[in-house]
């Protein structure tokens, strides 16, 4: 498991707990984000939380809007932009 992936999974659980949301099943790369238990506002909090922890918001750095569907796509975006920043 990559460090970025681990930070994201931790953050999802933390945001869910703080906002009384329940994460449905075990999270895998195929997990559909909007069926994972976080609602749209939960995702906004997650992105803000990850900006604190990883120091980047890849969605701000992108030239075009991108909305990942699965956890795997979400993690891949963060991995790509973390490498670029590093």
Site of interaction with other proteins (CB under 8 A):
18-19, 41, 44-45, 47-49, 51-52, 57, 60
Shortest Å, Cβ 60 to other proteins: 5
Q: Which is nearer to other proteins, 19 or 82 (CB)?
A: 19
Residue 70, helix vs strand vs coil: strand
Measured from the CB atom, the residue of 2 and 18 that comes closer to other proteins is 18
DSSP bridge pairs for 70: 32
55, two tokens = 């120091």
Expressed in angstroms, the distance from the first to the final Cα of the chain is 19
Report the residue number, 57 or 79, with the smaller CB distance to other proteins: 57
């Amino acid at each position: 498991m990559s460090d970025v992936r681990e930070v994201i999974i931790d953050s999802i659980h933390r945001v869910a707990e703080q906002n009384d949301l329940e994460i449905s099943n075990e999270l895998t790369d195929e997990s559909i984000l909007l069926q994972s238990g976080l609602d749209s506002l939960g995702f906004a909090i997650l992105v803000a939380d990850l900006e604190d922890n990883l120091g980047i918001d890849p969605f701000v750095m992108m030239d075009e809007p991108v909305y990942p569907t699965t956890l795997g796509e979400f993690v891949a975006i963060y991995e790509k932009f973390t490498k670029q920043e590093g």
